[in-house]
Amino acid sequence: MTGAQGLMVLTLAAPLALLLACLWPAPRRRVPGLLWLAPLPGLLAALFAAGAPPLVMDGAGLRLTLALDAPSALLLGAAALLWSAAGAYAPAYLGRQAGLERFAVWWLVTLWGSLGVFLAGDLVTFYLTFAAVSLAAFGLIVQDGTPRARRAGEITLLLAVMGEVCLLLAFALLADAVPTSSLAIADAVAALPGSPARGLILGLLVAGFGLKAGLVPLHVWLPLAHPAAPMPASAVLSGAIVKAGIIGLLRFLPADGALEGWGDGLAALGLFTAFWAVGCGITQTNPKTVLAYSTVSQMGVTVAALGMGLALAVPGTAMAVAFYAMHHVLAKGALFLAVGLAGAVGGARRTGLLLLPALFLALGFGGLPGSGGALAKLAVKPQLDAGLVGALAALSAAGSTLLMLHFIRRLASLPPADATARPSWVPLLAWLGMAGAAVLGPWVLFGAIGPGDPWLGDSWEALAKDPVGLLWPVLLGAVLALLLGRWGGHLPTVPEGDLLVLAGRVGRGGAIIGAAVSHLEKRLRAWPTAGLALLVLVLALFGALLAGAG
C-alpha cells in the first residue's frame, strides 16, 4: 500500500474510529468536539492521492476497490473541507443539548458515506457508502424532534429507500451484464452499453442518483429536509450530500457518447429543474428554504451540463462538471452557515461580516465576474454553449441571480440580534473560511479543468475573454429581483416540497390497498379457508408436477 492509498483508507477509517469511540460513554462525550477532525484525512487524500493507482482489496473473492480520479478528488476535497468546517460549527451551534452525542453518531455515519462515495471503486463499496449517506442523513434531519422535522425526515427516508431500491436493481443488472465476476465500477460501465437491459439500467440509475441530486420531480424531499435540519446539517446536506447523486451520474454514465438520446434527455431534465426550482424558490420566505431551492436549481444546471457533455461527447466533461459542483459545495455550504449566524450577529458587524460576503457568494451563482461562481460557469461553458441550450443556460443564470438576491433579502430580514451581540469565533471562522474557500478554490484550481498547469491556470484570462456574456444574466437577475421585491407579494405561495401535495392522493390510495389486503388476509386465516387452501395446494402442485413430467 502506498502512502496515497493509505490516505484513502484513512479517509474511511477516521470517521469509523470516532464511531467506535462512541461505544463507550466517556469517549462518547468527547466525540462532538472532535467532529471537525474526522474529514481531514479526506482533504489530504484529495490533495495528495488523486490519480493514485486504485487500491484493490481482494478479500477472497469480495473485491473492494478504492480509487480516486481527478473529478472525484475535486469533490472529495471540497466536501471534506465543508464537513470539517460544519463539524467545527456544529457543537457551538447546537450547544450542550441532550441529543448532541446522538447527533454526532448520525453525523459520522453520514460523513463516512458522503466521503466514501467519492472513493468507491466497486459496486459493493459504492452501494454501501451511498446507502450510508442517504439513510443516515435521516438522523441529522430529525435532530430537532419537531413534527416538521419528523415529517421531512420520513419523506426523505422514504424517497431515499426508493432510490436505494432503484440503484440496487440497477447494480444487480450491471453485475449481471459484466461477463466476469468482477464488481468493479469500471467494468460495469464498460459492460453497460452492451447490456440488453441498457434502457432499464440507465433509467434506474438516473432515478436513483437524480433523487439524491434533487432532479424534478424527485426533488421534493430537498426543500423539506434542508430547512428542517439544524444549520450545520443543512450545510452538509445541501453542499456535500447531494453530490453523492452527481458523483454517481459521473461514475456510471459512460462518457464516450455511447448513449444516444440519454444525454439530451438529461440536459432537458436538468434545465427544467433549474427553472422549476427558481419559480418555486422565489415564493418562499424562509431563507433556508430559498437556499434549498437554489440547490435544486444548481443541481439542475450541473446535470444539464453533464447531459450536454454526454450528448456532444465534449472531452473533459467529467472534470468540468465536477468543478462546477465543487464550487456549489463550498458556496452553498458557506451560505447555510451564514444563515445560522444571522441571529447571533448584530449591528454593523452584521453587514460587514455577514451580508456583504454572503451577497458576493450569492451573486456568484449567477456568474458575477470575479466570483468563484463565474469560473464555475466558465468551466461548463463548452457543454452549455450551443444555441438554444446556451440561451437557456444564460437565462437560468439570471434566474439564479434572482433567487439568490431574494435569499439575501430574506436573510437580511431575519430578526437581528441586539447590536452588541458578538458571535463566538469558531462559527464565525467556519463561515468566513468557507466563504473564502468558495471564492479562492475555483481560482486556484481552475487550471485543473484544462490541459495546462493544474494550479491557478488562466482564470483571469478566461474571465476577461467575455465579460459581457457573464455580466448580463447578473444584471437581468438584479432587475427581476427589483421587480420581485416590488410586486412579489402578489405571487401565490408554493408550499415547501411543491409537488408533494400530489402525494397525499397516492397515500390515500395506498391506505385503501392496505386495508383491502388486510381484509383478504383475515379471511384467509379462517380455519376452513386455510384448510381448503391446503387441499388446493396439494392438487395444484400435483397438477404442475404432472404437467412438467408430461
Partner 1 sequence: MILDWLLDGMVALLILAAALWTLAAPTPFAAVIGFVGFGLLASLAWVRLAAVDVALTEAAVGAGATGVILLQSAVRLRRGAAEVAAATPGRATTLLAGLLAGGLGLGLALAVLALPATVPGPAAEAAARSAEVGLGNLVAAVLMAYRGLDTLLESIVLVFAVLAVWAMGPDRHWGGIPGPRFARQRDGPLALLARWLPPVGIVIGIHIAWVGADAPGGKFQGGTVLAAMWVLAWGAGLVRPPSVADRRVRLVLVAGPLGFLLAGLLGAVLDGSFLAWPAALGKPLLLLVEAAMTLSVAAALALLVVGPPERRA
Partner 2 sequence: MSGPVLYGLLGAALVALGLFGLVVQAAVLRKILAFNLLGGGVFLLFGVVARRTAPAGLAADPVPQAMVITGIVVAFAATALAVAMALRMYQITAAVTVSPPPDAQAGDA
Partner 3 sequence: MTATTPAGWLLVVALVLPVAGMLLAFVLGGRAAERLALLLLGLGVGVGVAVSAAVLRMGAPIVYLPGGWAPPLGLALVADGVAAAMLLTTALVLFAVALFGRAAHATPPDQAETRAALAYWCFLLALAGSLAAAFLGGDLFNLFVALEMLTFAALSLACLEGKPSQFRSELRYLLFALIGSVLYLLGTALLYGGYGTLDFRLLAGRTRADLPTLLAAALMTAGLAAKMALFPLHLWLPPAHAGAPPAASALLSGLVVKAAFVLLLRVWIWVLPPLPAMAAAPLLAALGAAAILVGSLVALRQARLKLLVAYSTVAQIGYLFLMLPLVLSGAAETASHAWLGGLLQAGSHAFAKAAMFLAAGLIATALGHDRVTALGGAGQAVPRAVFAFGLAGLSLMGIPPSGGFTAKWLLLTSALGDGQWWWAAVILGGGLLTGGYVYRVLAGTIAAPPGDAPRPRPLPHGPQNVALGLALISVALGLLPLASFGLVQIGRPGALGALP
**Which residues lie near partner 3 (CB under 8 A)?**
59-62, 124, 127-128, 131, 135, 145, 150, 154, 157, 161-162, 164-165, 168-169, 172-173, 175-176, 181, 197, 513-515, 517-518, 520-521, 524-527, 529-531, 533-534, 537-542, 544-549
- What SS3 string covers 491-530? CCCCCCCHHHHHHHHHHHHHHHHHHHHHHHHHHHCCHHHH
CB of 547 to partner 2, least distance (A): 22
Cell numbers 459520522 label which residue?
108
Q: How far apart are CA 87 and CA 34, in angstroms?
A: 8
Strand 55-59 to strand 62-66: parallel, antiparallel, or no bridges (unpaired)?
antiparallel
> 361-394 burial, b if ≥16 CB within 10 A, otherwise e?
bbbbbbbbbbbbbbbbbbbbbbbbeeeebeebbb
CB of 536 to partner 1, least distance (A): 6
Contact window for partner 2 (CB under 8 A) among 1-9, 177-185, 274-282, 532-540: 532-540
- Contact between 402 and 477 under an 8 Å Cβ cutoff? The reply is yes
Q: Which residues bind partner 1 (CB under 8 A)?
A: 527-529, 531-532, 535-536, 538-539, 542
CA distances from 550 to 536, 539, 540, 542 (A): 21, 16, 15, 12
CB of 46 to partner 2, least distance (A): 56
Q: Which is nearer to partner 3, 131 or 411 (CB)?
A: 131
Query: Residue from 62, 513, 532, 537 that binds partner 2 (CB under 8 A)?
Result: 532
Q: Which is nearer to partner 2, 490 or 523 (CB)?
A: 523
Q: Could you tell me which of 191, 168, 164 has the C-alpha nearest to residue 178?
A: 191
Q: Could you tell me which of 108, 107, 104 has the C-alpha nearest to residue 96?
A: 104
CB of 516 to partner 1, least distance (A): 22
Q: Please compute Rg for the chain using Cα positions.
A: 25
User: Which H/E stretch holds residue 356?
Assistant: helix 356-364
Q: How far apart are CA 318 and CA 250, in angstroms?
A: 6
User: Rule CB under 8 A: is residue 518 a binding residue for partner 2?
Assistant: yes
CB of 305 to partner 3, least distance (A): 31
User: Rule CB under 8 A: is residue 514 a binding residue for partner 2?
Assistant: no
Binding residues for partner 2, rule CB under 8 A, total 10
- Contact between 34 and 107 under an 8 Å Cβ cutoff? The reply is no
Q: Which is nearer to partner 3, 488 or 531 (CB)?
A: 531
Q: How far apart are CA 232 and CA 240, in angstroms?
A: 11
Contact window for partner 2 (CB under 8 A) among 7-15, 40-48, 396-404, 525-533: 525-533
Q: Which is nearer to partner 2, 413 or 518 (CB)?
A: 518
User: Rule CB under 8 A: is residue 515 a binding residue for partner 2?
Assistant: no
Contact window for partner 2 (CB under 8 A) among 69-77, 267-275, 387-395, 522-530: 522-530
Taking CB within 5 to 8 Å according to partner kind, which of partner 2, partner 1, partner 3, none is near residue 70? none
Q: How far apart are CA 482 and CA 108, in angstroms?
A: 42
Instruction: Record the cell numbers describing residue 184, joined without a space.
Output: 468493479
Contact window for partner 2 (CB under 8 A) among 218-226, 408-416, 441-449, 520-528: 520-528
User: Rule CB under 8 A: is residue 522 a binding residue for partner 2?
Assistant: yes
Q: Angle at CA 417, nearest 5°, toward 413 and 419? A: 110
CB of 155 to partner 3, least distance (A): 12
CB of 132 to partner 3, least distance (A): 9
CB of 250 to partner 3, least distance (A): 22
Q: Which is nearer to partner 2, 483 or 540 (CB)?
A: 540
Burial of 72 (0-12, 13-18, 19+ CB in 10 A): buried
CB of 519 to partner 1, least distance (A): 18
> Which amino acid is residue 355, in one-letter code?
L
* Residues contributing to the site for partner 2 (CB under 8 A): 518, 522, 525-528, 531-532, 534-535
